[in-house]
Structure 1
Amino acid sequence: MKQKFIRTILCFFLTAAVSAHPAYASQEWPSDVSIEADAGIVMDADSGTVLYGKNIHDTYSPASITKVLTSIIVLENCDLDEMVTFSKNAVYNVEADSSSAGYDTGDQATVRDCLYALLLKSANEAANALAEHVAGTTEAFAEMMNEKAKELGCVDSHFANPSGLNDENHYVSAYDMALITRYAFENEIFEEIISTTYYELPPNARNPEGLGVSPGNKLIKKNFPEYRPDVIGGKTGYTSIALNTLVTGARQDDTTLITVVLHSRGTTYSDTSRMLDFGFGNFRSVSLENNDTTYSSLNSNLTIAGLPTSSAPSLTVDPDSRIILPNNAEFEETTSSVSFDLPENAPDNAIAAVCYSLGEHQVGTAWLTLGAERSESPAIPEELLSAVPTTIAQVSYEDEAAAENSSEKDRNMEEAADSQSTSDSASEPDQNTLSSGEQSQNTPDENPTGGALSDGFSVTPILIFTAAAAVIALLGTALAVWIGKSRRREEAERMERRRKRMERLKETGVSEEEFNEMMKNRRLSIPLEPDKRSPRRKGSSKSSLLSQPKKKRTRDSEFTLKKRRRWKR
């Protein structure tokens, strides 16, 4: 309960602190770029921010860039040294004259070799063989592809095969393909393979001397004019329906960009270079660790309800989190907000997302995670114990006295005197505790070891107000829950008593109506005792008094009457 309370208060503090970022007039978002392809996008790899896009949610056939998603699913489900067997379906269920690495039915190759054949040579039989190795059939593997795409946030795409050959149910958008490529470059093995310029495949039946393969991406080949030293790697594609397609990853200093070109008529490299020049020339990646201290402030010496957060789970943000900003904008111009509606791809220990924006553009998101508890059962601080010693001692005494009285009720009547003596002696610890409490109150600025207490966490008025409102809301909610539980418990006890009564009546053969009538007659037949009769109330009418039966005359009243008669004579 204590940990949940601290966790909730920390979240309220965080919401107030993050919302308190100043807002400045937003700078204009750079837009001086254009491409010839029908669709394209450049995305910041760290934040997922779209720097430029053209028809980013329109769908097109992707061709062989599909194999980026295929390779990621294989890497996440296989060991590189596993052996893959090429079936007849894997080798021959491809289009004629499509890309191939020369594998035949019955050939075996490691997952590693198949991945190099897949990403460098764009071998379609390798895609089919890997799919069958992972899922049993290419159809089952396509289902895995769609599930993975949904997990990554894709909303426009659908996959029908692992190779990207023409199919009316196989299509992607530039935005979805950027999400997939961004995720793929987070895998070190994928980046290593996709950036390779030459690889030697082992011998097989059709290639007894082995086969050397190299990528079709000219951006990483130094002997081509399209070569760019900042390009990490990429994947090309082409079919008669998809036309030219290309996905690329590039890095300059701390900034990594992802580009996608769809449905291009021979302009994939020039369009990619334009988008990369635009991205690197107008934007820079900014580290949150070096610019936003909100989270480090919340986790340093913060004390809530007398309990230091150092003994509770800590709220942390990944120190590697980054956002993307135009070169003419500063971090202070960003605004941030906390969102508790997390997507499917959020980390398991994430409790919220801090979203950063510059004007109308979202420039990054940082996951707010709940760290492990520093101690399983933290002790109550000495500062809290010394703050209210009388109350603590009183509670201890009342608990002790209640326990003592409860045990005495079960004893014989002869031990009543001993019970009273024991109850009286229980008050002695109260005085001792009070004395120690008074002594600790005389030195509130010193800790038990004699040193000065560390400085507390200073907060602004808005934080204090927010925390106070949060505490009041929590207390009100707790009170309402307690009242509701009490009422439900009382109602349950009443229903249980009624059930037991009905069972007893059923055993005796008496109905509930008969029992109620018997109880009513019994209450009416019981006369009131003299000391329980209602006294005359102020303002009672005389008629009500006269209607009462007259009392019998006593002997003293008769004697007085005779004396009066004699006096009259």
Structure 2
Amino acid sequence: MKKRFSRLLATAGLALLLAVTPAASQLGSPDCVYAEVNWPSDCTIRADAGIVMDAATGTVLYGKNIHSVYAPASITKVLTALIVLERCSPDDTVTFSYEAVHNVEDNSSSAGYDTGDRATVETLLYALLLKSANESANALAEYAGGSIPEFVGLMNEKAKELGCEDSHFANPSGLNDPNHYVSAYDMALITRAALENSEFRKIVSTPYYELPPNSRFPDGQGISPGNKMVKSNWKEQFRPDCIGGKTGYTSLALNTLVNGAERDGFRVVTVVLHSDDTQYQDTSAMMDFAFRNFRQVRIADYGGKLAELGKDLSIAGLSVERAALPSLDRESRMVLPKGVLPEEVTTEIRYDLPDDAPADAAAVVNCMLDGKTVGKGYLKLEVPEERTADQAVDRQVASILKSESRSGTDAAEINVLGSGPAEKETGAAAAVSAGAKEVSQAAESLNDGILQDIRDAWDGMPMRFRVIMSVVTLLIAGILGYHAYSQRRKKRERAAAEGRRQRREERLKEDGLSASDIQLMTAKRLKKTEKRILRSDDPDLPEKE
């Protein structure tokens, strides 16, 4: 009962929190004044659009025309691969249809598969992402979605789920189509999600792979990615911190490129669209900019205010620490320009949770820097096992009894050395009695302190908050009171029924009936009652058997 009440109290506190605490709070001391933050901007690219995004938080570190739309070409296959990885097993076998093989542009990228060829999903993902094979994209789409049009529907659904608002997809490979377009921001969201999949990361970071035999390559073939940033033989483009990604090119899209890179746990995503052969220089420029100017930190590890945010939450000034504690997720992160202190970040608590919020999240904490979101964390409700005053007293009682009984017994044995057993017992009893007195005093002191804290908090509350808390308290008291009244009423009814039964048995015994006779009569009465109930439920039931 206490645990349910604690959870109820915490939920009520979270519901009232927007009314009793500021929507945004400064992490630093209120007496500190911080200089205006200048967001780093020493980055330029020559492509028409590009972006570098922090993978952990989704914060845009640099962008150019990030919401303008362009043809994506083969970087479309990142979304195709993500959906296939989520819906299919790597060991599943795919058979190539005529449409899958021939519904491609002439002279477009191919891994040599023909109608009727069979290959595993894993093999075709390597062909898709390293060789950029368009027939593999079609075959995987048919297998994962049932047909290419149905798979295209899945692509647009997934894009919307990831937060994409600018883009639309018309095919799984990136063929030119007026209804097939993306923005740099949306492609960053898609690539960010794909890089969270370990199988995707393994494939795009592979510098060389042997495809099994197929109709056009009976001896098999070796393939390597078009992305030069993961190939060490391309000295100018190769980067050891690059995880991998996907290239694209058509005459309409020009050069497109998406990649992920990571240093010391700080991962970024880059996108380049509509580039005139500057995609690698632009990507490296954005990666260098990110690692040079920013750092990623775990929210709970920096700034005492953030680390203790859950404990600071209160219900009209009364800490919820004694009930269910909201605690900040330890894995939540934020990204900050180097030289900026965590104390310069403000927090904004929201209760309208996003769709991807954890199931046990109670609120989302947005971290803001000069109006720019730099990270977010989730508050989760935890019900500690020992949070009530009674439990605190129990712990103190156990501690005092343990120490006092040990020291008291020793003293008694010394004082009555040579005396009889009865005297030893008297000395030990006196020691335990003294310990119990100290326990009682400690319990009273602890309860007095808690009551004083409540009085101080109540006196310091504005009147409107007192009204809110009074209503909540009366509601909870009414629920608990009605529950107690119902239990007492049921207990009285059971006692009255038992009294009537005993009096009836006494009268029957006075009439000369034995206990077995009384039991037989009771059984017959129950049987007649059951028959009456059955007849009332079923009017077609005969009156007699």
Same fold by TM (over 0.5)? yes
Question: In the TM superposition, what are the counterparts of 1:108-257 in structure 2 within 5 Å?
Answer: 108-224=118-234, 225-257=236-268
In the other structure, the counterpart of 1:281 is 292
Kindly provide the amino acid, as one letter, of the partner of residue 289 in structure 1.
Answer: A
In the other structure, the counterpart of 1:543 is none
Q: Classify 1:295/1:284 alpha carbon distance in 2 versus 1 (closer, same or farther; 3 Å).
A: closer
- 1:268 maps to 2:276: no
Does the Cα contact within 8 Å between 2:323 and 2:387 map onto a contact in 1? no
The whole-number CA distance in structure 2 between the counterparts of 1:453 and 1:137 is: 72
Kindly provide the amino acid, as one letter, of the partner of residue 242 in structure 1.
Answer: A
Report the 3-state secondary structure (helix = DSSP H, G, I; strand = E; otherwise coil) of the residue aligned with 1:289: helix
In the other structure, the counterpart of 2:110 is 100
Does the Cα contact within 8 Å between 2:254 and 2:276 map onto a contact in 1? yes
Does the Cα contact within 8 Å between 1:17 and 1:294 map onto a contact in 2? no
Tell me the CA shift for residue 205 of structure 1.
Answer: 1.8
- 1:475 maps to 2:485: no
Question: In the TM superposition, what are the counterparts of 1:387-536 in structure 2 within 5 Å?
Answer: 446=442, 472-476=467-471
In the other structure, the counterpart of 1:429 is none
In the other structure, the counterpart of 2:424 is none
Does the Cα contact within 8 Å between 1:178 and 1:258 map onto a contact in 2? yes
Report the 3-state secondary structure (helix = DSSP H, G, I; strand = E; otherwise coil) of the residue aligned with 2:373: strand
Tell me the CA shift for residue 301 of structure 1.
Answer: 11
The whole-number CA distance in structure 2 between the counterparts of 1:285 and 1:367 is: 17
Kindly provide the amino acid, as one letter, of the partner of residue 340 in structure 1.
Answer: Y
- 1:357 maps to 2:368: yes
Q: What TM-score comes out, normalization by structure 2 length?
A: 0.69
Question: In the TM superposition, what are the counterparts of 1:361-376 in structure 2 within 5 Å?
Answer: 361-371=372-382, 373=383
In the other structure, the counterpart of 1:345 is 356
Tell me the CA shift for residue 244 of structure 1.
Answer: 0.5
In the other structure, the counterpart of 1:327 is 338
In the other structure, the counterpart of 2:485 is none
The whole-number CA distance in structure 2 between the counterparts of 1:447 and 1:369 is: 32
Specify the structure having the higher radius of gyration (Cα).
1
The whole-number CA distance in structure 2 between the counterparts of 1:138 and 1:311 is: 57
The whole-number CA distance in structure 2 between the counterparts of 1:12 and 1:464 is: 18
Report the 3-state secondary structure (helix = DSSP H, G, I; strand = E; otherwise coil) of the residue aligned with 2:308: helix
Kindly provide the amino acid, as one letter, of the partner of residue 82 in structure 2.
Answer: I
Q: Percent identity?
A: 51
**Could you tell me which of 11, 33, 43 is aligned with 2:53?**
43
Does the Cα contact within 8 Å between 1:151 and 1:345 map onto a contact in 2? no
The whole-number CA distance in structure 2 between the counterparts of 1:40 and 1:379 is: 52
Q: What TM-score comes out, normalization by structure 1 length?
A: 0.67
Report the 3-state secondary structure (helix = DSSP H, G, I; strand = E; otherwise coil) of the residue aligned with 2:8: helix
The whole-number CA distance in structure 2 between the counterparts of 1:467 and 1:187 is: 51
Does the Cα contact within 8 Å between 1:336 and 1:356 map onto a contact in 2? yes
The whole-number CA distance in structure 1 between the counterparts of 2:291 and 2:243 is: 14
Q: Classify 1:76/1:469 alpha carbon distance in 2 versus 1 (closer, same or farther; 3 Å).
A: farther
Q: Classify 1:35/1:467 alpha carbon distance in 2 versus 1 (closer, same or farther; 3 Å).
A: farther
Tell me the CA shift for residue 369 of structure 1.
Answer: 3.0
Tell me the CA shift for residue 47 of structure 1.
Answer: 1.2
Does the Cα contact within 8 Å between 1:295 and 1:316 map onto a contact in 2? no
The whole-number CA distance in structure 1 between the counterparts of 2:131 and 2:281 is: 22
- 1:6 maps to 2:10: yes
CA deviation map 1:461-520 (0-9, x unaligned): 99996799656424336769999xxxxxxxxxxxxxxxxxxxxxxxxxxxxxxxxxxxxx
Kindly provide the amino acid, as one letter, of the partner of residue 280 in structure 1.
Answer: F
Tell me the CA shift for residue 363 of structure 1.
Answer: 1.0
The whole-number CA distance in structure 2 between the counterparts of 1:107 and 1:454 is: 79
CA deviation map 1:149-168 (0-9, x unaligned): 11111110111111111111
Does the Cα contact within 8 Å between 1:257 and 1:279 map onto a contact in 2? yes
Aligned pairs, how many? 425
Q: Classify 1:379/1:244 alpha carbon distance in 2 versus 1 (closer, same or farther; 3 Å).
A: closer
The whole-number CA distance in structure 2 between the counterparts of 1:228 and 1:44 is: 18
Does the Cα contact within 8 Å between 1:295 and 1:315 map onto a contact in 2? no
Q: Classify 1:444/1:120 alpha carbon distance in 2 versus 1 (closer, same or farther; 3 Å).
A: farther
Does the Cα contact within 8 Å between 1:25 and 1:359 map onto a contact in 2? no
Query: Structure 2, unaligned stretches of length 5 or more?
Result: 395-435, 479-545
In the other structure, the counterpart of 1:491 is none
Query: Structure 1, unaligned stretches of length 5 or more?
Result: 387-439, 484-569
In the other structure, the counterpart of 2:390 is 382
Does the Cα contact within 8 Å between 1:446 and 1:453 map onto a contact in 2? no
In the other structure, the counterpart of 2:505 is none
The whole-number CA distance in structure 2 between the counterparts of 1:205 and 1:455 is: 81
Q: Classify 1:445/1:132 alpha carbon distance in 2 versus 1 (closer, same or farther; 3 Å).
A: farther
Tell me the CA shift for residue 118 of structure 1.
Answer: 0.7
The whole-number CA distance in structure 1 between the counterparts of 2:12 and 2:133 is: 53
Tell me the CA shift for residue 303 of structure 1.
Answer: 10
Tell me the CA shift for residue 357 of structure 1.
Answer: 1.3
Tell me the CA shift for residue 241 of structure 1.
Answer: 0.8
